[in-house]
Chain A
């Protein structure tokens, strides 16, 4: 028996405790299907001939022996220190995968349903059943399959048709690392009804030290004319692994705008696919800052299935030390998706000769009359720039700090929520990596 199969048996054994008859049959059905699909798919450890995983080695995840995450507690004060927070937001807090009613600040607004999936299966079973796994199927993705097998708590958001939700919704997943490696399976399902409007923040935050694995699946469904502003923050513990499978489905005339921030993780992968309808607008911004031996992989795919949509992808990376980042993914313009207007850009700032970026955005176009462009750059701070600043008395370290911040600020400034941008400024600015080239 191979090592990988032995690990799968470990998940099989853990799975026995999940399907205990307390959930509706449809949910247990999804879980069983997830386990079955995971058993046959496993983790994508083979990289040869597998373009999607060419630059990211997940053996550390596949070979680890993760326990089911233990119940744990964090204080509200501690949470406010380590995560973005605003008392005025609607906040759902999950600690080690478990919904914490004590730490959460649920909505009193009747036009929105927000809560943990396991609790809402009773009151909102129909809508959950019709949407859960609808855009993140288990059949072709081992991570999504494993997550689905272990779906329990998790965040469910349903914004009713035509509702303009002014209060941002914060879905905060906290992991409390310790000496025993564990796995969590956070799940997010957002259904934004027709012509509705919402702001959603997904945060994955680690406290403490030790290995754990956040195996996340997010499904965000925008019905026709919906508008969702989405933020995603990754600030896990130093030794944490994080794989996020995110699927977004945009109905006609909808608008999805997302900004993703990566501050800390040992090995992180964000696999985002946005499927775009007619007359949509899609804006994806991202900022990753990697230090030490961190590895961050962004695999971002945009699928223009219908005409008249505009997509903009603008990611930036700052890489220090021996860290590595991967930027991959493809913009697809399907047959008939005329008048598609798409631009992708990934810019990287390398602060050390040992840092590495593998950036290869791609385009596949089957339609005529489209406007598409993409580009990737990687460079370091040039000598003339540093000299200019130093000639004004600014020390090398401060000069590079200002430049690195300036590079990052362009993305941070896209954040429209003050509490979130304050938090980002704090976590990014307090620990901006340093420039380590010989001058």
Chain B
């Protein structure tokens, strides 16, 4: 589904990603872990096309096509979704309106009719219940006055509504209490099936207790320093990142 080949990315002349290779197949859950500043968020953002990054080498292939020149909205239409680390507040734009505009945009792309209000509300009610988001929140401006947990739950609500092929989660677990974390994980697990894939970016192993990864990759200084199964995450939980940093340094010398 997703093939990343020798990807080098810079922000303002500073190289952040220094040659990433990664292959994600349908049905898989990959966790990208790493300390702060290792390039995890950059990797997630470059896949969805956030402006401000320069790709200096390599490519990102999604479902057989190089997506690096595509607009963010076109990538979304092809089925790529990012649950953001810092969801943006949209003053005056009602959450309901925003969600419907998104769902309609993707339906239009697939050649389907726009939902009627009733059809959309039916879908929304079902997904809202999974994410335990009340109706009052939907009537407010997007993310305005939402708590940290509500913002993250709203991101996963969007994941469920848009039902992409590839879901990227950028530190969705950060700042969540245990109850919110469970709800978020439940949302992701509801989404997950054999036809889609999840790429989960996280600093901590905690969320992996609820969402079981098939692969764990450790990102250090813009490179994947180590890949393994879910036991790698447990090892990190015990030993911290220092252990891999030393290992990598030793291997290099």
Measured CB to CB, the residues of A under 8 A from B are 383-385, 387-396, 398, 402-403, 405-410, 439
**Given contact pairs A393-B73, A403-B93, A410-B92, a sample of 17 additional A-B residue pairs in the complex whose CB atoms are under 8 Å apart:** A383-B52, A389-B90, A391-B50, A391-B76, A391-B81, A391-B82, A392-B101, A394-B73, A394-B102, A394-B105, A395-B105, A396-B71, A402-B101, A406-B90, A406-B92, A406-B94, A408-B92
What 0/1 pattern do residues 220 to 244 of B give for CB contact below 8 A with A?
0000000000000000000000000
* Pair A392/B105 contact, Cβ less than 8 Å: yes
* Pair A392/B93 contact, Cβ less than 8 Å: no
* Pair B98/A402 contact, Cβ less than 8 Å: yes
Q: Which residues of chain B are near A406, meaning CB under 8 Å?
A: 90-94, 141
Q: Which residues of chain B are near A407, meaning CB under 8 Å?
A: 91-92
What 0/1 pattern do residues 72 to 86 of B give for CB contact below 8 A with A?
110111000110100
Q: For the complex, what is the distance from the CA of A262 to the CA of B35, rounded to whole Å? A: 53
A-B contact pairs, 27 of them (CB 8 A): A383-B52, A387-B72, A387-B88, A388-B84, A389-B90, A389-B98, A390-B71, A390-B73, A390-B76, A391-B49, A391-B72, A391-B82, A392-B73, A392-B98, A392-B101, A393-B76, A393-B102, A393-B109, A393-B162, A394-B98, A394-B105, A398-B101, A403-B93, A405-B93, A406-B94, A407-B91, A410-B92
Q: A387-B72, A398-B101, A406-B93 are in contact. Are A393 and B88 (CB under 8 A)?
A: no
* Pair A398/B105 contact, Cβ less than 8 Å: yes
Measured CB to CB, the residues of B under 8 A from A are 48-52, 71-73, 75-77, 81-82, 84, 87-88, 90-94, 97-98, 101-102, 105-106, 109, 141, 158, 162
Closest to B92 in A: A406
Q: Which residues of chain A are near B106, meaning CB under 8 Å?
A: 393
* Pair A439/B51 contact, Cβ less than 8 Å: yes
* Pair B51/A403 contact, Cβ less than 8 Å: no
**Which of A391, A394, A408 neighbours the largest number of chain B CB atoms within 10 Å of its CB?**
A391
* Pair B102/A388 contact, Cβ less than 8 Å: no
A262 to chain B, nearest CB (A): 18
Q: Which residues of chain A are near B72, meaning CB under 8 Å?
A: 387, 390-391
Q: Which residues of chain A are near B91, meaning CB under 8 Å?
A: 406-407, 410
Q: For the complex, what is the distance from the CA of A373 to the CA of B173, rounded to whole Å? A: 40
* Pair B73/A388 contact, Cβ less than 8 Å: no
* Pair A391/B90 contact, Cβ less than 8 Å: no
Q: Which residues of chain A are near B93, meaning CB under 8 Å?
A: 402-403, 405-406
* Pair A394/B51 contact, Cβ less than 8 Å: no
Q: From the candidates B49, B51, B77, B84, name the one contacting A383 in the complex (CB within 8 A).
A: B51
Q: From the candidates B73, B88, B102, B109, name the one contacting A384 in the complex (CB within 8 A).
A: B88
A286 to chain B, nearest CB (A): 16
Closest to B164 in A: A393
Q: Which residues of chain A are near B141, meaning CB under 8 Å?
A: 406
**Which of A390, A392, A396 neighbours the largest number of chain B CB atoms within 10 Å of its CB?**
A392
Q: For the complex, what is the distance from the CA of A396 to the CA of B49, rounded to whole Å? A: 14
Q: Which residues of chain B are near A395, meaning CB under 8 Å?
A: 73, 105
**Which of A385, A387, A396, A408 neighbours the largest number of chain B CB atoms within 10 Å of its CB?**
A387
Q: Which residues of chain A are near B92, meaning CB under 8 Å?
A: 403, 405-410
Q: Which residues of chain B are near A390, meaning CB under 8 Å?
A: 71-73, 76
Q: For the complex, what is the distance from the CA of A439 to the CA of B73, rounded to whole Å? A: 13
Closest to A407 in B: B92
Q: For the complex, what is the distance from the CA of A424 to the CA of B195, rounded to whole Å? A: 47
Q: For the complex, what is the distance from the CA of A402 to the CA of B109, rounded to whole Å? A: 19
Q: For the complex, what is the distance from the CA of A408 to the CA of B93, rounded to whole Å? A: 10
Q: For the complex, what is the distance from the CA of A390 to the CA of B77, rounded to whole Å? A: 10
B160 to chain A, nearest CB (A): 13
* Pair B90/A392 contact, Cβ less than 8 Å: no
Q: For the complex, what is the distance from the CA of A393 to the CA of B51, rounded to whole Å? A: 15
Q: For the complex, what is the distance from the CA of A266 to the CA of B81, rounded to whole Å? A: 45
Closest to A384 in B: B88
Q: A393-B106, A398-B101, A406-B141 are in contact. Are A388 and B90 (CB under 8 A)?
A: yes
**Which of A384, A391, A393 neighbours the largest number of chain B CB atoms within 10 Å of its CB?**
A393
Q: From the candidates A385, A392, A396, name the one contacting B76 in the complex (CB within 8 A).
A: A392
Q: Which residues of chain A are near B52, meaning CB under 8 Å?
A: 383
Q: For the complex, what is the distance from the CA of A171 to the CA of B52, rounded to whole Å? A: 52
* Pair A385/B88 contact, Cβ less than 8 Å: yes
Q: For the complex, what is the distance from the CA of A406 to the CA of B50, rounded to whole Å? A: 23
B73 to chain A, nearest CB (A): 4
Q: Which residues of chain B are near A384, meaning CB under 8 Å?
A: 88
**Which of B49, B93, B102, B162 neighbours the largest number of chain A CB atoms within 10 Å of its CB?**
B93
Closest to A388 in B: B88
Q: For the complex, what is the distance from the CA of A439 to the CA of B52, rounded to whole Å? A: 11
A407 to chain B, nearest CB (A): 5
Closest to B79 in A: A393
Q: For the complex, what is the distance from the CA of A265 to the CA of B48, rounded to whole Å? A: 42
Q: Which residues of chain A are near B87, meaning CB under 8 Å?
A: 388
Closest to A382 in B: B88
Q: For the complex, what is the distance from the CA of A221 to the CA of B158, rounded to whole Å? A: 52
* Pair B90/A385 contact, Cβ less than 8 Å: yes
Q: Which residues of chain B are near A439, meaning CB under 8 Å?
A: 51
Q: For the complex, what is the distance from the CA of A387 to the CA of B84, rounded to whole Å? A: 11
B54 to chain A, nearest CB (A): 15
Q: Which residues of chain A are near B162, meaning CB under 8 Å?
A: 392-393
B246 to chain A, nearest CB (A): 37
Q: A387-B51, A388-B84, A439-B51 are in contact. Are A394 and B90 (CB under 8 A)?
A: no
A47 to chain B, nearest CB (A): 35
Closest to B107 in A: A393
Q: For the complex, what is the distance from the CA of A226 to the CA of B141, rounded to whole Å? A: 35
Q: Which residues of chain A are near B48, meaning CB under 8 Å?
A: 391
The 5 closest A-B pairs by CB, nearest first: A406-B92, A393-B76, A392-B102, A393-B105, A406-B93
**Which of B49, B73, B105, B109 neighbours the largest number of chain A CB atoms within 10 Å of its CB?**
B73
Q: For the complex, what is the distance from the CA of A52 to the CA of B90, rounded to whole Å? A: 36
Q: Which residues of chain B are near A408, meaning CB under 8 Å?
A: 92
Q: For the complex, what is the distance from the CA of A390 to the CA of B76, rounded to whole Å? A: 8
* Pair A394/B49 contact, Cβ less than 8 Å: no
Closest to A408 in B: B92
Q: Which residues of chain A are near B102, meaning CB under 8 Å?
A: 392-394
Q: Which residues of chain A are near B82, meaning CB under 8 Å?
A: 391
* Pair A387/B50 contact, Cβ less than 8 Å: yes
Q: Which residues of chain A are near B50, meaning CB under 8 Å?
A: 387, 391
